[in-house]
């Protein structure tokens, strides 16, 4: 233990370093296994501490009201940890919060990191849990008050000393310590060997927790490279991944188009919490088709949580203004009525577009409901059913002797698959034999359209011109 180690613990207003703040910090610096200095302080977070956090930590708003703000102790913290390796239990959590505090001050905070969770897993395999609580029991460490920074950091110091004392001098200890330092940006249950085993090919990946539940689904042209990028980011999403990911499952597709479609289908099927959190944050408003009591169809904006899974979604937007602008664009483009969502009865007052002669007048009795709905359905076909006939789209496969395919029938993707006879024009029988059913939507049509626009070399064959066998 010739290297100096700064063992750190913090308490916070919540679990998200981007929005929550530090309420208490404690640091103990070890050199040669001996405590050489320490630092502890409550921190005024400049925001209210939630009651649930107060219940857990015992830190309340009155206690931090007279405490220094982080900028007032930032220099003391840096001096305390100077020339040290940053050590913590679930190190990414503490490190991310402290790094964010310095970032808000315009300072770049960067230290080598060591995680006692990862160390304990490495040198004490087979324990039921590697939580600090369980390690305290395992090593029979005396603690006065859990979830206070100084008491928890002292417990972490004891865990760290136990690990070093029982393994120091072993043949592979120093190398293992270097490996753990190198792997500190990975979840505790993964090693760089695990990462090296990931394919460097196009496909999708599923990050799972200890119970094998899916946390996150993504796609990439290079799965291994994308996973490494995930764990090297400094975001709330990365923090969740590092704390909770236990294993990674991959599906190689070779084709970017197949990966795009498969990712969308899998996210819809499993609704992973991290994907769901990102989508709910970014896309809160959906544009859907509704129908009035008189039978007239129209587009309207609904908040995501009010839209049922079986309802076709025509667009997802971050703000209600953007969603309404999109509807207005379609109404003007196809000369549809702009007042159907507002007016309970027809003929009461013409809509705005009728006044400027851009609506055919269903709102003023100048057009029948049947005629209007026919034009409305034509708008849907033109905007969302982008395929004039049944097609098969051929793309790269998982290896050189294979091609992937996407089958389009009746305007939607009906199947995905792979063909081993990659040089020949596929027959309908071959497509049917190698098909994996896929339930295409208007949204998947948009994905296919976007992909084909970017990849003009894609091979599209008409089903009507393919051989039967």
pLDDT for 173 beyond 80: no
Number of C-alpha atoms within 13 angstroms, CB side, residue 217? Answer: 22
Alpha helix (H) residue ranges in 26-130? 51-57, 61-65, 70-81, 91-104, 116-123
Starting at the earlier edge strand, list the strands of the sheet with 391-396: 435-437, 412-419, 403-409, 391-396, 459-462
Do 38 and 132 sit in the same domain of this protein?
A: yes
pLDDT for 344 beyond 70: no
Instruction: For residue 435, count other CB atoms closer than 10 A to its CB.
Output: 15
Do 368 and 424 sit in the same domain of this protein?
A: no
Span 368-420, pLDDT tens digits: 999 999 999 888 877 766 677 889 999 999 988 899 999 998 888 999 999 98
Q: Could you tell me if residue 135 is inside a domain?
A: yes
Give exposure, 190-202, as e/b (b: 16+ Cβ within 10 Å). Answer: bbeeeeeebeebb
Which sequence positions are flagged as catalytic? Answer: 147
Average pLDDT over residues 23-32: 95
Owning domain of residue 449: 391-465
Domain boundary among 245, 261, 280: 280
Do 290 and 333 sit in the same domain of this protein?
A: yes
Span 56-98, pLDDT tens digits: 999 999 999 999 999 999 999 999 999 999 999 988 889 989 9
pLDDT for 358 beyond 80: yes
CATH number of the domain enclosing 104: 3.30.420.10
Average pLDDT over residues 345-358: 83
Do 251 and 363 sit in the same domain of this protein?
A: no
Dihedrals phi, psi of 376, to nearest 5 degrees = -60, -45
Dihedral sign from CA coordinates of 371, 372, 375, 380: negative
- The token duo for 125 is 């395999």
Q: In the predicted model, what is the mean pLDDT of the chain?
A: 87
Nearest Cα to Cα of residue 251 among 215, 214, 208, 220: 220
Place of tokens 């050489």: 36
Do 143 and 24 sit in the same domain of this protein?
A: yes
Q: Could you tell me if residue 187 is inside a domain?
A: no
Do 348 and 400 sit in the same domain of this protein?
A: no
Overall number of domains in the chain: 4
pLDDT for 36 beyond 90: yes
**pLDDT over 90 percentage in the chain:** 44
Nearest Cα to Cα of residue 341 among 287, 382, 378, 305: 287
Do 376 and 395 sit in the same domain of this protein?
A: no
Instruction: Give the pLDDT score at 454.
Output: 86
CA distance 243 to 129: 14
Instruction: Give the pLDDT score at 147.
Output: 82
Domain boundary among 352, 384, 416: 384
Concatenated DSSP letters of 216-278: EEEEESSHHHHHHHHHH--SHHHHHHHHH--EEEEEE-S-HHHHHHHHHHHHHHH--HHHHHH
CA distance 185 to 91: 9
Instruction: For residue 179, count other CB atoms closer than 10 A to its CB.
Output: 15
Instruction: For residue 424, count other CB atoms closer than 10 A to its CB.
Output: 10
Do 229 and 158 sit in the same domain of this protein?
A: no
Do 336 and 434 sit in the same domain of this protein?
A: no
Span 88-144, pLDDT tens digits: 998 888 998 999 999 899 888 888 888 898 888 888 888 888 889 999 999 898 888
Q: Residue 19 belongs to what H/E stretch? A: none
Instruction: Give the pLDDT score at 278.
Output: 63
Nearest Cα to Cα of residue 26 among 63, 82, 101, 77: 77
Do 36 and 138 sit in the same domain of this protein?
A: yes
Report if pTM > 0.85: no
Nearest Cα to Cα of residue 404 among 441, 357, 451, 363: 451
Q: Note the maximum CA span of the chain.
A: 91
Nearest Cα to Cα of residue 35 among 75, 77, 1, 78: 1
Domain boundary among 384, 400, 431: 384
- Strands 313-317 and 412-419 come out as unpaired
Split at pLDDT 50, 70, 90, the class of 5 is: very high
CATH number of the domain enclosing 208: 3.40.1440.10
For 295, 304, 378, 379, the CA distances from 385, given in Å and listed in that order, are: 22, 23, 10, 9
More confident residue, 457 or 222: 222
Instruction: Give the pLDDT score at 189.
Output: 81
Nearest Cα to Cα of residue 45 among 55, 54, 34: 54
- The token duo for 4 is 């100096």
CA distance 416 to 256: 12
CA distance 437 to 156: 52
Average pLDDT over residues 25-39: 93
């Amino acid at each position: 233990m010739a290297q100096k180690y700064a063992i750190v613990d913090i308490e916070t207003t919540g679990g998200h370093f981007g929005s929550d703040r530090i309420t208490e910090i404690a640091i103990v610096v070890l050199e040669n296994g001996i405590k050489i200095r320490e630092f502890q302080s409550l921190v005024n977070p400049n925001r209210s501490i939630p009651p649930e956090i107060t219940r857990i930590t015992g830190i309340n708003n009155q206690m931090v009201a007279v405490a220094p703000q982080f900028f007032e102790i930032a220099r003391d913290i840096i001096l305390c940890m100077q020339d040290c390796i940053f050590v913590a239990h679930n190190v990414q959590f503490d490190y991310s919060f402290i790094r964010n505090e310095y970032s808000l001050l315009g300072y770049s905070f960067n230290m080598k990191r060591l995680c006692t969770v990862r160390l304990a897993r490495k040198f004490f395999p087979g324990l039921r849990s590697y939580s600090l609580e369980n390690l305290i029991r395992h090593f029979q460490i005396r603690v006065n008050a859990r979830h206070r920074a100084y008491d928890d950091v002292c417990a972490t110091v004891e865990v760290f000393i136990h690990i070093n004392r029982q393994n120091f001098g072993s043949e592979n200890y120093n190398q293992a310590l270097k490996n753990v330092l190198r792997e500190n940006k990975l979840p505790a249950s993964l090693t760089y060997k695990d990462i090296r085993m990931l394919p460097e090919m196009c496909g999708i990946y599923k990050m799972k927790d200890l119970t094998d539940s899916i946390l996150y689904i993504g796609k990439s042209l290079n799965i291994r490279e994308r996973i490494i990028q995930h764990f090297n980011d400094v975001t709330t999403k990365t923090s969740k991944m590092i704390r909770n990911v236990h294993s990674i499952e991959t599906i190689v597709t070779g084709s970017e188009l197949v990966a795009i479609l498969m990712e969308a289908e899998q996210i819809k099927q499993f609704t992973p919490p991290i994907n769901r959190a990102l989508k709910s944050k970014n896309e809160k408003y959906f544009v859907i088709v509704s129908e009035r009591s008189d039978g007239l169809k129209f587009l309207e904006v609904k908040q995501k949580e009010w839209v049922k899974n079986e309802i076709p979604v025509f667009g997802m937007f971050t703000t209600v203004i953007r969603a309404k602008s999109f509807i207005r664009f379609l109404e003007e483009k196809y000369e549809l009525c702009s007042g159907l969502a507002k007016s309970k009865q027809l003929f009461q007052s013409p809509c705005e577009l009728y006044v400027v002669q851009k609506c055919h007048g269903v709102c003023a009795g100048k057009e029948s409901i049947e005629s209007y709905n026919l034009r409305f359905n034509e708008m849907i076909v033109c905007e969302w059913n982008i395929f004039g006939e049944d097609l098969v789209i051929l793309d790269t496969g998982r290896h050189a002797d294979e091609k992937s395919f996407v089958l389009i029938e009746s305007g939607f993707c009906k199947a995905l698959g792979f063909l081993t006879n990659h040089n020949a024009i596929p027959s309908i029988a071959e497509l049917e034999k190698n098909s994996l059913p896929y339930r295409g939507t208007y949204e998947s049509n948009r994905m296919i359209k976007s992909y084909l626009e970017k990849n003009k070399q894609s091979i599209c064959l008409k089903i009507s011109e393919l051989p039967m066998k």
